[in-house]
Structure 1
Amino acid sequence: MSLPVTYVQVIEVARITPRTARITFRADELDASVGTSPDQQVKLCFPRPGQAAPVLPGPSEDATGWYRAYLAVPEPQRPWMRSFTVRQRRPGTEEVEIDFVLHGDTGPASAWAGRARPGDRLGMVGPSALYASPLSITSAAEAADWVLMAGDESALPAIGTLLAALPEGTRTVVFAEVADRAEEQPLPGPVGATVRWLHRDGAAPGRRLVEAVAAADLPPGAPFAWLAGEASAVRTLRRHLVEERGLPKASIEFSGYWRHRCTQDDAPTAEDLADAREKLAQVQVQVQVRAEAR
């Protein structure tokens, strides 16, 4: 299973909200699978200080081989690597749009995006089918009575692509937590989709989201739930849906995109590792169910 590796160049930078930059990249070579499915993640590689472009190892036939080559790059030259959702591929082009949440110079991705200009170059790895969920939003929505989505601003690109992929008429409820009213942004979706915006206004990340879902009078029936954002908030929401709302774990797709006061370079906690094991087990069950249905 090959893993695409390419350089991408900035061709356009737009502020869609005061704290969100939508950056359009043109790839040297873009895999045909990019932009063909919702909630599709790639890894962007950022240059170290003094580098005009990041140092990239060559492509590999598998994800682990590429990662070994990445780790073999001497640390002072090894690029910082962060995961992002493809917001959109421009039809018929080698161009992709990716949204960046800007939170100052507290991380390499935000610092780079805040100063990005046309001509700047990054590396892009993926997408990889190895990390794609076998449960599509379309099949999940068709099997459920309605769809629940909940996330913070880091999840909005994925939520946007998922909403656009839902069958017309799908009853959908979205809870979206952002810093304040100015961070709200247009989202696509089927007619009748309800989007409830939650403003942190200085509260801890995820607090408004957890409180709103826990207090909500949700529609009747069995939903499919999709949760993403700050890891501890996602964990709390999932526990609430399972233990207090009675949702089966198999009907919840979840991802902790980031951790409050931690970076992706920090070691995972015991709870992070437990989430990863459970997510892997859930994916294995989904694969088995699909195989038996064939």
Structure 2
Amino acid sequence: MGHAMPVSHVRVTGTERITPRTARVTFTGDALPRLMEDRPDQQMKLCLPREGRSLEEGLLPEQDAEDAYGMRWYEAFLAIPEPVRPWMRGFTVRSYDRAHNVMAVDFVLHGDGGPASRWGAAARPGDVLGMVGPSSLYARPLPTTSAGMLLAGDEAALPAIATVLEALPAGTRALVYAEVADAAEERELPTAAGGTEVRWVHRDRGGSLVAAVREAGADLDGVGAAWVAGEASAVRALRRHLVGERQLPRSAVEFSGYWRRALTQDDAPTEEDLAWAAERAADSG
């Protein structure tokens, strides 16, 4: 695996609106064949230009082979003057076609005017972005269970949920709880080897992921492990419910807080973020 935190450039090859609020953008890049792994939930960061659709050549700092976790690279990135420093946002690889060297990434178009929504809505073939990762350093194994697996998340988590469904061992039954804006945002999800049942939760009808899972009752009987991702406070609440009330072993609940409702990834970590990191560390200890 060369560098632990590789930095590369990717170029748009196509865009498709898969739901009214989701743009699937396909990319190619010289580094993709060595960076892409055959595993679910490959997370990376894309560097989005402040103005326009393509990142300026030479704007991103060079890599240092000794900089395993990318800390020195990140310091150099932060030293780029703010008016031109790209926005950096986290994404999950939806798929990678090795034969054609094409990576697909889904952009949720929140309508909030955020940089990722803006860029995803305007992306055109030929646009160039920077990419940091993905890295096997951050790969986390799927929880294993002979019983059913609960997958819960919001729009930001759907690409990862799809890759997890595709990777579940033969015979694993999957139950998906997915929170989306409205019925138009529902989409086909892959079928796990043992079958997949999907419960869509619609925000426009007052639904919330946390409430839906808490009120699931007997629907969750037979679930032996869980994979939860999405907005950080919702993920924490679900994890507490699954470990506390549902009595799932901590080791059987894998979780990831992709985004914070109140803050962007450009902001410094809050006390809540630090508490979240400590909770993760305690779990893996």
Partner AA of 2:148 in structure 1: W
Tell me the amino acid that sits aligned with residue 107 of structure 1. Answer: G
Which residue is 1:58 aligned to? 62
Q: Which residue of 1 aligns with 2:199?
A: 196
> Residues 211-268 of structure 1, C-alpha deviation per residue, up to 9 Å, x if partnerless?
1111112344561111111111111111111221112222211111112232112333
Instruction: Identify the residue that residue 179 of structure 1 maps to in structure 2.
Output: 181
Residue identity opposite 1:78 in structure 2: R
Alignment correspondent of 2:89: 82
Q: Corresponding residue for 2:106?
A: 99
Letter matched to residue 88 of structure 2 = M
Q: What TM-score results when the alignment is normalised by the length of structure 1?
A: 0.87
Work out which of the residue numbers 116, 119, 124 in structure 2 matches 1:109: 116
1:209 aligns with 209
Aligned partner of 1:79: which letter? P
Q: Against the structure 1 CA distance between its residues 47 and 236, is the aligned structure 2 distance closer, same or farther, given a 3 Å change threshold?
A: same
Would you say 1:259 and 2:260 are equivalent positions? yes
Cα distance in 2 for partners of 1:231, 1:184 equals 22
Query: Aligned partners of 2:227 and 2:159: how far apart in 1?
Result: 13
Give matches, 1:1-294, under 5 Å: 1-49=3-51, 52-54=54-56, 55-61=59-65, 62=68, 63-104=70-111, 106-133=113-140, 136-137=141-142, 140-141=143-144, 143-190=145-192, 191-201=194-204, 203=206, 208-216=208-216, 217-221=218-222, 223-283=224-284, 285=285
Q: What SS does the aligned partner of 2:111 have?
A: coil
Question: CA 1:267 to 1:219, structure 2 compared with 1: closer, same or farther past 3 Å?
Answer: same
Per the normalisation by structure 2, the TM-score is: 0.90
Once the two structures are TM-superposed, the CA of residue 280 in structure 1 deviates from its matched residue by 2.5
- The count of residues paired between Structure 1 and Structure 2 equals 276
Q: Which segments of structure 1 move beyond 3 Å, counting only runs of 4 or more?
A: 218-222
Cα deviation for residue 209 of structure 1 reads 0.9
Q: Retained in 2: the 8 A contact 1:10–1:24?
A: yes
Contact conserved, 2:33 with 2:98, CA < 8 A, in 1? no
What CA distance in whole angstroms lies between the structure 2 residues aligned with 1:17 and 1:277? Answer: 36
Distance 1:2 1:171, change over 3 A: closer
Do the aligned partners of 1:3 and 1:60 also contact (CA within 8 Å) in 2?
A: no
SS state of the match for residue 233, structure 1?
helix
The 3-state SS of whatever aligns with 2:31 is coil
The residue type equivalent to 2:85 in the other structure is: R
**For the Cα contact (< 8 Å) 2:178–2:200, is it kept in 1?**
yes
Structure possessing the higher relative contact order (Cα contacts under 8 Å, 6 or more residues apart): 2
Q: RMSD across aligned C-alpha pairs, in angstroms? A: 1.9
Determine if contact 2:53/2:127 at 8 Å carries over to the other structure. Answer: no
Deviations 1:32-83 (A, max 9, x none): 2414110001110011226841421122322223212212322222211011
CA distance, structure 2, for counterparts of residue 248 and residue 107 of structure 1:
37
